[in-house]
Chains A and B, each alone.
Chain A
Amino acid sequence: MNTVTETAGLDGNDMEPGVTAGAKGIVADWSSDQVAFRKAPWGKAMMWIFLLSDTFIFSIFLIGYMTARMSTKVPWPNPSEVFALTVFGTSVPLLLIAIMTFILITSSGTMAMAVKFGYEQNKKVCFRLIVLTAILGASFVGMQVFEWSKLILDEGVRPWYNPFGAPQFGAVFFMVTGFHGTHVTIGVIFLFIIANKVRKGEFDRGDAGFMTGRPGRYEMVETIGLYWHFVDLVWVFIFALFYLW
């Protein structure tokens, strides 16, 4: 076989000699003397594997929620009413949650474009987009703090009790949204760290990182971007399964 086969993505574009596409490509990539995640930098491959493990953690939380909700004798509280906000005298269902959803989606869009401008070595735009992403993430956490304090202080919701219905509601709510909020908070911190590296030009020069001798690259923007999109992804599931169900 001396034919040069097509390569790379699932849609089979961008060619490179000697790299096979599709199902044959899996065999070729995982065969001896090959790199399994060819073309993916190690940091990105490791981030994907971490995100897979995180997917399982959040799945276990949401499956635990399903099991609790399916087996209660007392009716589950109606999230549409629990999370309603009164604006100008009228009660709007899930208002804050909707705003939080749109903020997180917006931050995902700015992050995606930050990755693009990073690869174009456009330092200034990349830095501004990452900072904007981090600010949107921080405002999301701020709204979550507001939501938690409203539920804990005004409504008296506890992990073992709430005035609306099944007592498991509080336990599920604090665990699921608390874990997600922690992820957002950690993401905001790392976004600021990466933004600062972009601003100082560390990825242009390839400066060594804080705890590694490896040179910094704009791929790191894509890797932290993967984490940030994952946080948005988890919120999609929480929004649908916990708040809307």
Chain B
Amino acid sequence: MAEGQNHPIGIYLWVWGALFVVSALSYWVDWYGFQGALRWSLILIFMFIKAGAIVWVFMHMKWERLSLFSAIMIPTVFIAVFIFIMALEADYTEIVRLTFFSDWQNFFTVEHHGTH
């Protein structure tokens, strides 16, 4: 089976074990109660390690040709662009809500906003 993706069982078992450990670590982040930037960076690091291991070994991306790898992986970059755009949009929405809806009876009486 020259065409097939047949690899030593050891690498699967190794990655499997690693996924267990990293999952336990990310659960531990919540258990221990980390907060703030440390919590978020730990969660994201563990998330990308797990995602990378699954795509790289379990989904055999490591052994695919660069053509297939590029066709699948490059378009995902646009997701990052979309996240950035929508984060800006969400910030704007929050400002609008805090400005108008937190005291939202005054939203229709324009002179209240003009006079303070």
Residue positions of B touching A, CB distance < 8 A: 1, 3-7, 9, 12-13, 15-16, 19-20, 23, 26-27, 29-31, 40, 43-44, 46-47, 50-51, 54-55, 57-72, 75-76, 79, 82-83, 86-87, 89-91, 93-94, 97-98, 101-102
By a CB distance below 8 angstroms, the chain A residues around B44 are 240
| Residue contact B71 to A37, C-beta cutoff 8 Å | yes
* A54 CA to B101 CA, complexed, in Å: 36
The residue among B12, B15, B68, B91 with the most chain A CB atoms within 10 A of its own CB is B68
A80 near B: Cβ within 8 Å? yes
User: Nearest-CB distance from B12 to chain A (Å)?
Assistant: 5
By a CB distance below 8 angstroms, the chain A residues around B61 are 10
| Residue contact A230 to B67, C-beta cutoff 8 Å | no
A70 near B: Cβ within 8 Å? yes
| Residue contact A108 to B87, C-beta cutoff 8 Å | no
* A103 CA to B57 CA, complexed, in Å: 19
| Residue contact A116 to B79, C-beta cutoff 8 Å | no
By a CB distance below 8 angstroms, the chain A residues around B58 are 108-109, 111-112, 225, 229, 232
| Residue contact B65 to A113, C-beta cutoff 8 Å | no
With A101-B23, A119-B1 known to touch, is A8 a contact of B63 (CB < 8 Å)?
Answer: yes
- Interface on chain A toward B: helix, strand, loop, or mixed SS? helix
| Residue contact B30 to A25, C-beta cutoff 8 Å | no
Number of interface residues of A (CB under 8 A): 70
List A55-76 residues whose CB lies under 8 Å from chain B: 55-56, 59-60, 63-64, 66-68, 70-73
A82 near B: Cβ within 8 Å? no
| Residue contact B62 to A230, C-beta cutoff 8 Å | no
User: Nearest-CB distance from B102 to chain A (Å)?
Assistant: 6
| Residue contact A233 to B67, C-beta cutoff 8 Å | no
User: Nearest-CB distance from A127 to chain B (Å)?
Assistant: 17
| Residue contact A9 to B43, C-beta cutoff 8 Å | no
With A55-B79, A105-B16 known to touch, is A26 a contact of B43 (CB < 8 Å)?
Answer: no
By a CB distance below 8 angstroms, the chain B residues around A109 are 12-13, 15-16, 19, 58
Task: Offer 23 A-B interface pairs, CB within 8 angstroms, sorted by A.
Answer: A10-B69, A26-B66, A30-B67, A39-B64, A48-B68, A63-B83, A63-B86, A64-B86, A67-B90, A70-B87, A70-B91, A71-B94, A93-B31, A94-B27, A108-B54, A108-B58, A112-B58, A115-B5, A120-B1, A229-B58, A239-B47, A243-B30, A244-B43
By a CB distance below 8 angstroms, the chain A residues around B57 are 112
| Residue contact B62 to A52, C-beta cutoff 8 Å | no
By a CB distance below 8 angstroms, the chain B residues around A108 are 16, 19, 54, 58
| Residue contact A239 to B26, C-beta cutoff 8 Å | yes
